Amino acid sequence: MQITVVGAGVVGLTAAVTLLQAGHDVHVIAAATGDATTSAVAGAIWLPFQAGPPEAVKRWAVRSRIWLEALAASAPAAGVDVIDVVVIDDGAPPWWADVVGPLARVAAPVIGAPLAWRFRAPRIDPRLHLPWLESRLQRPIERARIDRLADVPGDAIVNATGLGARSLTGDAALEARFGQVLVTEPGELELGVSLNDDRDAGAMFYTIPRHGRPGAPAEVVIGGCSLPRPDDDPLTTDPDLRARMERQAAALGLRPGAVVRERAGLRPYRPTVRVERDGADPRLIHDYGHGGNGYTLARGCAEDVVALLR
């Protein structure tokens, strides 16, 4: 079957690779690729975050986790490894605790946070992973902006356009969520541990370290935020958000190195991730609305896309 995937972020590329592995002839069309995608801005660690429906998210997450862990063990060029993740939370275990593997209640390794959950999870370096996914394709990505999905050629079309799906489908449930991160030198931060603190949803904080590799120096991604914004937001970084993240790091006793760069992007958030065949066009399968869960859910969703084509 000839399948066209529209979109070249982590969701689109993972869908394309999964479809190729299932024996399909796959062509990818995208308006943006590589560093120009929202996926390139992501901290990129396996961690379910503000996504639904819960049971489907857990199923997609565990399938993605299995695949990412296999890549960590067998494909160094894919930019995936497994590290300790510490989630600061004074309450009950997270809603996705039953798919995370061994989960330990520990003293938080930072000031002012007495309790945390600690587990092992894949982390992904977009600087390596996105090019690796693209290298698995049979032909180059076609750079083009699509205005009508019905005009896209192929026996089937996979709509992995992220936030662009709103204008293409009229989906009012899809909205832009602004995210901003600082990328710093490691400083005194441990490169084998990621820290997440979302006790205050309006001022969440996380650190995601990246080990140095050829062409990708060691660094730490510090975030973050998830704020509603218009689709045409200019994506300028906010100095007040940067100052807040720096204050939070200091309050927790963390000492990152110098800021190397700041990045901003718009997450394609939808209360329920949409993975389904279009009721009006049987050629069309949707795979969008992952919000901040692109890397966490991409492979599991792609496997569902393959199943929908059987």
Residue of 216, 214, 221 lying closest to 191 (CA atoms) = 221
pLDDT in tens, 87-100: 998 788 899 999 99
Q: For residue 154, give Cα distances in angstroms to 4, 12, 157, 195.
A: 6, 16, 6, 43
Q: How would residue 199 be classed by pLDDT, with cut points 50, 70 and 90?
A: confident
pTM of the model: 0.95
Domain positions in the chain are: 2-308
> Which residues have CB under 8 Å from 297's CB, separation 6+?
11, 48, 51, 57, 60, 61, 64, 273, 290
Q: What digits encode the pLDDT tens for the residues 78-89?
A: 999 999 999 998
> What CATH code would you report for 2-308?
3.40.50.720
Confidence of residue 283 (pLDDT cuts 50, 70, 90): very high
pLDDT in tens, 124-174: 999 999 999 999 999 999 999 999 999 999 999 999 999 999 999 999 999
Alpha-carbon gap, residue 44 to 87, rounded angstroms: 15
Respond yes or no on whether the N-terminal peptide bond of residue 224 is cis (omega within 30° of 0): yes
